[in-house]
Amino acid sequence: MHVRRALVLGQMLPGVPVWRLGDDSRFPGLVYVVYPGNVGGADALTHIVTAFLPEKGWTLMLVSTAAMLQAAEAGGYAVGGFNVYDLNGVKAVIGAAEAARSPVLVQILPGTLEQRGLPLVAMCLAAAREAAVPVNVHLDHFKVAADITACLEAGVTSIMADGSHHPYQENLAFTRQMAALARQHGAAIEAELGQLSGSEDGFTVAEYQASLTDPAQAVDYVAATGVDSLAVCVGNVHGPYPGEPQIDFDRLATIHDRVDVPLVMHGASGLPAAMITRAIELGIRKFNVNTEVRDAYLAALKQALAPDKINILAVMAHCVAAMQAVVAEKMALFGSVDQHRLLKG
C-alpha cells in the first residue's frame, strides 16, 4: 500500500494499533488496523470486530492526549485546551486547528455538562473523530466521580480529575481512584496539585485560599497516583488577572526537573506572550484557555444582535469567526502550528 507515513489514531487492543494512512500512500486517509500475528489469543480478532464494529461502520478513534503531550515534549511546544459550550465553540476550535494544522483539545467544564448533558459530549466526540488533525475531547476540572464515569462510558478518553480543593491526602486518594477508573477505559488523566485563585464558570477560589505546587510533593504525588500529566499552580489564576501576572518560574523549573510527566498550566488567558514562551521553555506542554475565547463569543454575539433584522445563521457564523481568531492566535503563541505531523509514524 506504499505507506511511508501514517497518523497513529490509537489501539483496538494492546499491541493492535490503528493508523490513518498518509497522503503519499496508495489509499490516502484509509483507516488501517495493524494486526501482528503474535498478539492476542485465538479469539482476539473476533473480539475486535464484535466490540468495535457499530451498525453503520467502523468508528474512527481519537488520538490520545498522552500521545499529544509526549509529542509536545519532544517538539518543545504546547498544546492548547479550549473550553467549549456549544457547536459554535466546537467549530471554532477545530476550524482553527485544521487551518493551523495543529493538535488541539476540546474541553468541557462540569457546569456545561450539567446544562447540556451527554449529547454535548457525543457531539464533541463526533467532531473530534472527523477532524483532519489530531483532536481529543477533555473533561476539565471534574470533581464528581459519577460525572467522570458517565463521560468515560460515553467514550471520553481524556479527563482532568480535580481533587485540588481537598487536603493533600484526600486529593491523592481521589486522584488515585480516578486514575484507576481512567485506566479501565483506556483514558488519559490529568490532575492538579496546589490550587489556583480566581473564578471560572461559577467556581471561585479566593486568593487567600490558593496554594502553590510544592516540587517535592509533586514528585510523590505523580508517583503515587500514576497520572499522565500534572496541572501546576505557580502564580497562574483562573479568569482575568487582577494585575500584572506574577509567575514563579523558578518553582516551575524545579517541578519540571523533578517530575517525569508533561506539565499543564491553567489560566493562560491574559498571560503576556513572553510569559507563555518562558513557561513552554520550562516544561509546560498544555495551556488551558477559556476567558478570552468566551469573551470573544459574547462580544461578537452582542455586536451581531444589534440590527433590527437578525439572520441567526449569520450571527452564528460571526461568533464562530470571532472565537476561531482567538484560538488561532493562541496556537501560534503556543508553537503548535504545523505540529500535527509529529504525531505521525
Annotated catalytic residues are: 140
The torsion angles phi and psi of 9, rounded to 5 degrees, stand at -85, -25
Q: How many CB atoms lie within 10 A of CB 210?
A: 18
- What beta strand segments (E) does the chain contain? 6-13, 16-21, 31-33, 79-83, 104-108, 135-142, 158-161, 188-193, 198-200, 203-205, 229-232, 263-265, 284-289
**In the block, which residue shows the cell 523549573?**
253
**Nearest partner of 178 among 132, 126, 226, 124, judged by Cα:** 226
Q: End-to-end alpha-carbon separation of the chain, Å?
A: 15
Contacts of 200 (CB under 8 A, 6+ apart): 109, 141, 238, 239, 290, 291
Give me the torsion for CA of 158, 124, 131, 301, rounded to 10°: -120
Q: Are 268 and 242 in contact (CB under 8 A)?
A: no
**Sheet strand arrangement including 6-13:** 6-13, 16-21, 31-33
Cα distance between residue 190 and residue 261, in whole Å: 10
Strands 229-232 and 188-193: parallel
Q: Are 252 and 281 in contact (CB under 8 A)?
A: no
